[in-house]
Amino acid sequence: MDLLTELESLAQICDSASSSDVSPRDIARWHTLFNFNALQAEEEITCHRTNLNRIAISTEHWATVQVEQEALGHNQESYSYHLSHRAKASASPKPSTQLSTLSLAQQKRLLKKRWLLRLSHELATAEKIQEISHLPTPPRILLDEEDPTVSFVEVDIIAKEAIEKHMYPSSTHFIVHRVSAEKSLADTCIAPTLGLDATMPQHRLSVSDTPVPQQNMYPVPYFFYGTLAEEDRLVALLGLEGKPALTPAKVRRARVEMRGRYRGLVDGSEGDEVDGWMFVVGSERHEDALRGYEGDAYEVVRCEIFGEEGVGGMKGLTFRFCEEVVG
């Protein structure tokens, strides 16, 4: 930077510092760019104008970036604030969650959680989120059901904290996204199966055998207990036109227990049985709705479903409680 440019920058700082009036337009701009409320915006603008150590944007510098930055909503002053606080953030990053300090159960729970972030302004594309979060691929985009012009990306805790660090000290608004029950059925062994350890020799399949149900096999029988066995709930969840066909049934090597605030189906001993209902899920769309209702405290597992009197036996699926209760 030559002497003339330095003098120009200093003059700009002194000139803006002497002008303390904050216009409604300035407040609106800073609210949009940095998520400040009106009072916060006025305070930040005033502090920025009186900060003689802030990064000053020369007329020459602004001319080279003006088109790009105005498209993002910046004027010269807000752009200066943005650069000043990015520099400050690199020296004073927002503390992150240290996964290594958490128990394995807490780590597992946290890594399963997901958040939604609205794409806008500096965080306008999935590719930008990928760059900031160091993701191998762009995160998936979700459209608002009521306004398709509004889009979100889904991120995990690691990406969330990378974005917060990038945007610090500006706050970034995330929406907690409910995660569906996991469904990951092995195609070469019986895992996961209710009440059985797939690693035990007596439960291993021969090379020619295929475990059923398979991951994407429909229709598929499910064993329900508790609220999922309520007719009205199934009608609402699945958008059924008539009453669901529920058949009395039971599963073995299982029991229902209270785990924290949940009452869930868990592995049991050889003589344990749980009574409930069988329902045939006809499509992946219906299954997704059921998985979304159960949430990430449960997982889809294979099971054998028996008739009310314990006769027969049909290969099917159910929701097993998998959340580890801490403390």
Are residues 44 and 81 in contact, defined by beta-carbon separation less than 8 angstroms? Answer: yes
Are residues 84 and 34 in contact, defined by beta-carbon separation less than 8 angstroms? Answer: no
Looking at residue 177, what is its pLDDT?
Answer: 84
Looking at residue 96, what is its pLDDT?
Answer: 54
Longest dimension (CA), the chain: 93
Looking at residue 140, what is its pLDDT?
Answer: 86
List domains and CATH numbers for the chain.
3-90 (no CATH), 100-177 (3.30.70), 182-321 (3.10.490.10)
What is the rounded CA–CA span in Å between residue 158 and residue 111? 8
Burial string for 109-129 (b: 16+ CB within 10 Å, else e) reads: beeeebbbbbbeebbeebebb
What is the rounded CA–CA span in Å between residue 246 and residue 278? 6
Contacts of 241 (CB under 8 A, 6+ apart): none
Looking at residue 60, what is its pLDDT?
Answer: 66
What is the rounded CA–CA span in Å between residue 159 and residue 123? 13
Looking at residue 104, what is its pLDDT?
Answer: 66
Residue type, 107: Q
**pTM (two decimals):** 0.59
Per-residue pLDDT of the chain in tens (327 residues, 90 and over written 9) = 444 444 454 445 445 444 458 899 998 998 888 888 888 888 888 888 888 777 777 776 677 678 878 888 889 888 888 877 755 654 444 445 556 667 766 777 777 788 999 998 889 999 999 999 888 889 989 888 788 889 999 998 888 988 988 888 778 889 888 888 989 899 889 999 999 998 888 888 887 788 999 999 999 999 999 889 999 999 999 999 999 999 999 999 999 998 777 789 999 998 999 999 999 999 999 999 999 999 888 999 999 999 877 677 899 999 999 866 444
Contacts of 75 (CB under 8 A, 6+ apart): 29
Looking at residue 93, what is its pLDDT?
Answer: 47
